[in-house]
A and B are shown apart, each in its own frame.
Chain A
Amino acid sequence: MMSREAGSRGLVKSPLDVGGGLFLVALAAIGFAGGFNLPTGTLSGIGSGLLPKSVAVLVAAFGVLLIVQGLIFEGDRLEKWHLRGPVFVLGAVLLFAILIRGSTLNFGGILGIPLLASVKVPGLGLIVAGPLAVVVSSLAEKSTRLGEIAIFAIIMTILCGILFKELLNLPIPFDPMGLVPAPVNHAYVGAKSAIFHAFTDIKNLFAR
């Protein structure tokens, strides 16, 4: 875990506290900027801006306190940040979000930056987004075996489809939307309905 080393380490005595303090100050700045234009109001009629702004100031104050504390007292080092985990796990989540129902991705176009590009992503449904999320996130771990995870991803997706679509009737899209050529789609829909028919038969068998 974290190592606590004796001896001087230059100006910053506790990188963990200083880092945490800077993080808080940054959060407070965002909060304060977001509430900047809101009215503070009076004590008997508090405006919408009073709480966000005053809490942001308090957060900043504690940030400064932590920074000062980290400059004076010995403390822990910063833990090492890893890229692999966040990139693949959160990347998989974003991929899922984009593909599940389709979306239009705009690059630029906020905070004064002009719209640079706009890409339309078709909705591919759980049947594509599911296995992709599993496989991409699995890359976060070194010991992943691709063959194994591919089979596992398909099994998981089918199980989730049965559980969430068939049993719980959640409105999550399962099939791709208008992307697959008609004949393939026909075959696919046919196969799927056959499977679900068989499944419903089994279910009815138990229901009786």
Chain B
Amino acid sequence: MIDFVTGLVGNLALGMSVALSVKNVALCFLGCLIGTLVGVLPGVGPIATITMLLPITFGIDPIGALIMLAGIYYGAQYGGSTTAILVNIPGEATAVVTTLDGHQMAKQGRAGVALGIAAIGSFIAGCVATVIIAALATPLTAMALLFGPADYFSLMVLGLMFAVVLARGSVPKAVAIILVGILLSTVGTDLESGEERLTFGWTEIADGLDVAVIAMGMFGFAEILRNLEMTQTRDVVHAAIGNLLPGRKDFRQAAAPIARGTFLGSLLGLLPGNGAVLGPFASYTLEKKLAADPSRFGRGAIEGVAGPESANNAGAQTAFIPLLTLGIPPNAVMALMVGAMTIHGIVPGPQIMTKQPHLFWGMIASMWLGNLMLLIINLPLIGLWVRFLKVPYRLMFPAIVLLCCIGIYSVNNSPTDVVMTAGFGLFGYALIKFGFEPAPLLLAFVLGRLMEEKLRQALVISRGSFWTFVERPLSAGLLLLSLVLVIIAILPAIRQSREQVFAEAD
């Protein structure tokens, strides 16, 4: 135990020594600032933000680039909450809950308090989650080394099943969209035989489709197309922002929800397959159940902002664990991070920690730093965000289109990528129109390649016997769990309650 603690402290100290260099602090600050700036724009979620800003990290060394990207990610997350509170438009699924009470508080002239408690709750959650990541990293990485190809494959199956259970709408559609993602992942040259697959002789895609292209098309452009059709009334809060620092009474009310939200969010964020999205919902439901007067919820209860925001941030943070230790992204944002890391020459997985400890611990230490930055940036700059939000959408979306074009062109300096992004914009638009949720596709796309590789390896090792997936205890357990999840997803009773959870948010 003592060994473990000293090891942890030593690792964090190493991380801090990397993260606290003047350059890396500046990059972290810049990342958080720009991430918030773009994330605040209504209808621009973390995925679009990261893709759009990916090129600005080029030309920075890998450690600095990763620290900056992580900063952009937190910034985008927090920017989404700001928009949720001030404009009642959630940037992404996890911010939906924040609109319920956060926007009500804003209407009552307590926007400042709502934003303040969201920032403070997120900061506390971030601190705790960082320690959890640091503590779990070593044992999980050790465990990852025990994983054979068959176990990896089954783990990814489990992750995708989680994504099915947690997706909105019909189960067959969720499964189908994941299969489409896997199908897209097979486009390009086959790694073993060198044959071109599904390219139709088009040399531009011989290297496979780029995750950034798909992300930008489906989450940047398709999202704009959808927003243009929604005759949404953007009621930017006209009431005064009010005092930023919550009062003593607010703190007393919010303290326990922050603690519970942090716990729930950290735990759920660890799950493969976008468990993080459940955190805010679970926290909101829990706080409502525990409250002495549940009718306050939906009318500006501070617990309804503090709990879910803490859960959101904790989950956003612990979602890094499966990526950094196992190399398996748990959700669409992390899938994009895989792409971003690959551009910088880093292959996520257990070998990062052993081979590049500076990078690994530096990034973890920078997570804590990033949370501190958010607190420092956001509270004084709220006035600026409000003014930003008042820019009409008719000016905002052409600017977003231009930034997306420049961003995607710069990833590979390729006009063809820009054309393909437009294609995926149309594809994403069609998916939305047919009632498919696009996020699981991105996750399945990134996992698809890994899954095929592991499947082939496993079958080579077992000399072509599929029983290897059931004979290995770890793999068998994971597959059994996946099966349970499928049954849960299909059972009518649970389907209904699943719809209720999401319906409450709508």
Contact = CB atoms under 8 A, between A and B. Distances in A.
Interface in A23-67: 23-24, 27-28, 31, 34-35, 38-39, 42-49, 51-52, 55-56, 58-59, 62-63, 65-66
B413 A172 contact: yes
Given A59-B179, A62-B176, A140-B228, A78 B433 contact: yes
A59 B58 contact: no
B459 A44 contact: yes
B463 A44 contact: yes
A56 B176 CA distance: 10
B143 interface: no
A27 B425 contact: no
B344 interface: no
Contacts of A27: 180, 183
Interface residues of A, number: 77
A122 interface: no
A103 B200 CA distance: 21
B435 to A, nearest CB: 5
A156 B399 contact: yes
Contact of B409 (A82, A89, A168, A172): A172
B464 interface: yes
Contacts, number: 206
Interface string B451-484: 0100110011011111000000000000000000
B186 A16 contact: no
A127 interface: no
B406 A164 contact: yes
Nearest to B57: A168
A85 B425 CA distance: 11
B471 to A, nearest CB: 15
A66 B172 contact: yes
Interface in A130-160: 130, 133-135, 137-138, 140-141, 143-145, 148-149, 152-153, 156-157, 160
Interface of B: 55-56, 58-59, 170, 172-173, 175-176, 179-180, 182-183, 186-187, 190, 192-193, 195, 197-200, 221, 224-225, 228-229, 392-395, 397-399, 401-406, 409-410, 413, 415-416, 418-419, 421-422, 425-426, 429-430, 433-436, 452, 455-456, 459-460, 462-466
23 contacts: A24-B176, A31-B198, A43-B464, A48-B193, A51-B182, A52-B198, A55-B183, A56-B183, A62-B175, A69-B172, A85-B225, A93-B405, A93-B425, A96-B409, A98-B415, A137-B397, A140-B397, A141-B393, A144-B394, A152-B398, A171-B410, A172-B410, A172-B413
Interface of A: 16-17, 19-20, 23-24, 27-28, 31, 34-35, 38-39, 42-49, 51-52, 55-56, 58-59, 62-63, 65-66, 69, 76, 78-79, 81-82, 84-86, 89-90, 92-94, 96-98, 100-101, 103, 126, 129-130, 133-135, 137-138, 140-141, 143-145, 148-149, 152-153, 156-157, 160, 164, 168-172
